[in-house]
Amino acid sequence: MAIALVALWCVALNEVSLHTWGFGALNFGLMFAMVGLVVGAKVWGRRVRDSALSVPVVIAASVVAAVVLGWFLYGQFSVFQANADKDLGSDIAANTYAADFFAFDLQQNPYTSHAQTGHRVDDAPNVARVNGQLEMFGVPYYYGYPYFPAMFFLYQPFRWGDSTPQAIRTGNGVYYFLLLAAMAWLAAILVPKGYRVLAALLSMLGFAATLALAGELFMFCTTDIVIPLFTLLGFIALKYGRHSLSGALIGWVFACKLVPGGLFVLLFLIWFWRRPERWKFLIPMFAVILAVIVPYVLKDPSAFLSATILYYLTEHAQGDSTALWFTLPAAIKPLFQIVGYSSVVALIGYAATRKSFGLPGALAICFVAGAVFVAFNRMAHLNYIWAIAPIGAVALVGGALGGTREASTAIG
């Protein structure tokens, strides 16, 4: 059953990644199908507490999963090699490279420099030129870097050895490898010992077995995979009782990007508030957020605000055909988003305040809340999905195998 759930998950994730522009309604349905699989896996996992797969079945499934995983990884490595030294294919990657250039090479503020390379907003709603200065909602806008500072911090180390745009692609290769390792690690420690190898392989397969992924990582070079990497590392630290480290890692996620980082911070804030370890977790979380973001806010508050928050209120205002919202009648669009965003907050509040809510539940709700947010958003771009899909894959496998009896101590 666990293998079947992962197979269905891979089908849904491939459909989402292969059909984006013009498929808003399909994407909406597929996001909820993936939510259903994660929730269903937890329900199924609870019902199999007294059952176990035979050792030969677990070994055979592990071998098949390893072969399929190896095939996908070989193909992705080939795409990485084929695109070495080619231009960065997305504004996300180009913006990050530009932010590093301004911040570290020129010692300039990337939020007041032209680090937004992919879009023009001159004719967008709520944008005007006043005395020659572009303003957004009345706030000066300089085409600054659209994400929070931790995102471009993470790619600067790769520019120390290679100052060309290839550094972003190399960074993605390293972070992708680390992400798969984190997925395998967390999935393994969430299940009984006899299933750990299988869980590790299935979780990695739940993300790696995506046909569009190689192009997204190594042609377009989208950078959002660092978000699930640090999120999963935060969960791993939490599993070992390292509350302060976990809090710092989750804070780093927010310091990369507001969404889904803000959702995760809200979840953990509510979850930990009534727990005795709350300050061990929450103080490092907010300390990292403040240490990373506040210096750039203080340099130029209006520039930081317009480059990050106001830019998305402007850029996303019109929406696009990747989202169901775009095709709805104008009269029901506001209600649609109110229902969606209220559902996200309600999900987090309900789950985080349950007494029986533990680490596997927090992992699952991170994905579920993120997926519901994307489904109801005005845009459902793939980089939003890359930020949460690895989390969902681990939650799926952990839920499906977490309730099984140990198969064998010899293979876990």
Q: Which of 53-67, 87-101, 141-155, 381-395 has the lowest mean pLDDT?
A: 53-67
Residue-level pLDDT at 247: 97
Residues 6+ apart with CB under 8 A from 77: none
- Whether 354 has a pLDDT exceeding 90, the answer reads no
- Of 405, 1, 397, 402, give the one whose Cα is nearest residue 201: 397
- Whether 246 has a pLDDT exceeding 90, the answer reads yes
Specify if 410 maps to a domain.
no
Residue-level pLDDT at 46: 62
Upstream peptide bond of 192 is cis (omega within 30 degrees of 0): no
Q: Which of 11-15, 43-47, 397-401 has the lowest mean pLDDT?
A: 43-47
Check residues 341 and 48 and name the one with the higher pLDDT: 341
Check residues 357 and 121 and name the one with the higher pLDDT: 121
Specify if 46 maps to a domain.
yes
Residue-level pLDDT at 406: 66
Residues 6+ apart with CB under 8 A from 376: 325, 336, 337, 339, 340, 341, 343, 344
Check residues 59 and 75 and name the one with the higher pLDDT: 75
Average pLDDT, the chain: 91
- Retrieve residue 150's tokens: 């931790």
- Of 382, 323, 361, 372, give the one whose Cα is nearest residue 33: 372
pLDDT-derived band of residue 215, with 50, 70 and 90 as boundaries?
very high
Specify if 211 maps to a domain.
yes
pLDDT in tens, 266-314: 999 988 888 889 999 999 999 999 999 999 999 999 999 999 999 988 8
Residue-level pLDDT at 274: 81
pLDDT-derived band of residue 403, with 50, 70 and 90 as boundaries?
low
Specify if 260 maps to a domain.
yes
Specify if 165 maps to a domain.
yes
Residue 12 to residues 37, 292, 385: CA-CA distances in angstroms?
Answer: 10, 36, 12
What's the distance, Cα to Cα, between the start and end of the chain in Å?
19
CB of 145 closer than 8 Å to CB of 116: yes
Q: Rounded distance, CA 3 to CA 271, Å? A: 31
Q: Which domain holds residue 208?
A: 2-401
Which helix (H) or strand (E) is 349 found in, with range?
A: helix 333-352
CA atoms within 13 A on the CB side of 411: 22
Q: How far is CA 312 from the centre of its chain?
A: 17
pLDDT-derived band of residue 412, with 50, 70 and 90 as boundaries?
very low
Q: Rounded distance, CA 381 to CA 379, Å? A: 6
Specify if 253 maps to a domain.
yes
Residue-level pLDDT at 411: 38
- Whether 408 has a pLDDT exceeding 50, the answer reads no
Residue-level pLDDT at 410: 34
Instruction: Give me the torsion for CA of 49, 12, 230, 293, rounded to 10°.
Output: -130
Residue-level pLDDT at 351: 79
Q: What is the mean pLDDT of residues 308-329?
A: 91
- DSSP string of 59-109? HHHHHHHHHHHHHHHHHHHHHHHHTTTPPP-SHHHHHHHHHHIIIIIS---
Q: What percent of the chain has pLDDT over 90?
A: 73
Specify if 411 maps to a domain.
no
Q: What is the mean pLDDT of residues 149-156?
A: 98
Specify if 412 maps to a domain.
no
Structural domains in the chain (count):
1
Q: Rounded distance, CA 183 to CA 317, Å? A: 34
